[in-house]
Structure 1
Amino acid sequence: MNTKTVVAACLFAALNICTLSARAEVDITPKTYTYGTHLDIKKVVSLQQDATPSCGIVNARMTYLDSQDRTQVLDYSKISGNCNSDN
C-alpha cells in the first residue's frame, strides 16, 4: 500500500465522520421554552434571533450542549437588542 492510498483512505474516513455529525444535528427537534422548563445547559454553542430594526419581542434560538454532551436546540422569545435600557 503506498502513501497516496493511505492518505486518501484517511481523508475519506474524516469526511465521513464530519458528514455523520452534520446529519445528526439536522435531526434535532427544537424545544420551545415555557416557564418552568428544566434546562440542562453545559455549554452554549450558538445564539440566533430574528432581525428587527425596532424595539419589541423577537423569536430567538439557542443551540447548546447538555450535561451528556448531546446537542439541544431551544426556541424562546426575548426583547430585541434594539431597545433602550429606559423604561
Structure 2
Amino acid sequence: MRVHNLSIVSMLTINALSASPLLADEQAEVPAYRYGTQLDVARVIRIEEPAPLTCEIVRAKMTFVNTQGVTERISFLKQAEACSRE
C-alpha cells in the first residue's frame, strides 16, 4: 500500500513539474500595442481573444513571426466578435 501511494505521489509530482513551463509561457506578460508602434509581421500564427456574448471591447493576443524568423506576441484592444453579429 505504501509503495502504491509513493508511486502515485511521484507520478503527480513529475506531471506537475513537467507542466509548469507550459503554464509559465501561457501566463507570461504580453506587451500591449501602443499607437505608433512599428510591427514587423511576416506571418500571423494565431489571434486569441475572449468570447463574450455581448458587444464589448476585449483584449486580444496575436502571436506572429517577424521578418527575422523570431516568434513574438502582442496584445491589442478590439471589438468582440459578438459585435459583428448584432
TM class by smaller structure: 0.5 to 0.7
Gaps of 5+ in 1: 1-21
What is the TM-score of this pair, normalised by structure 2?
A: 0.63
Residues in 2 aligned to 1:39 and 1:57: alpha-carbon distance in whole angstroms: 22
Distance 2:54 2:85 in 1: 14
1:59 aligned partner:
59
Following TM superposition, by how much is the alpha carbon of 1:78 offset from its aligned partner in structure 2, in angstroms? Answer: 0.3
Per-residue CA deviation, residues 7-51 of structure 1 (Å, 9 max, x unaligned), is xxxxxxxxxxxxxxx98xx3x752210100100000000110012
Matched AA of 1:64: F
* Larger relative helix fraction: 2
Contact 2:42 2:65 in 1 (8 A): yes
CA RMSD in angstroms, aligned pairs only: 2.5
- Partner Cα separation in structure 1 for residue 84 and residue 51 of structure 2: 16
Task: Please identify runs of 4+ aligned residues in structure 1 that moved more than 4 A.
Answer: none
* Percent of matched pairs sharing the same residue: 29
Matched length: 63
Q: TM-score, normalised by structure 1?
A: 0.62
Cα deviations across residues 32-72 of structure 1 (Å, max 9, x unaligned)? 10100100000000110012010010110000000101000
Give me the whole-angstrom Cα distance separating, in 1, the residues matched to 2:29 and 2:42: 18
Q: Which amino acid aligns with 1:30?
A: V
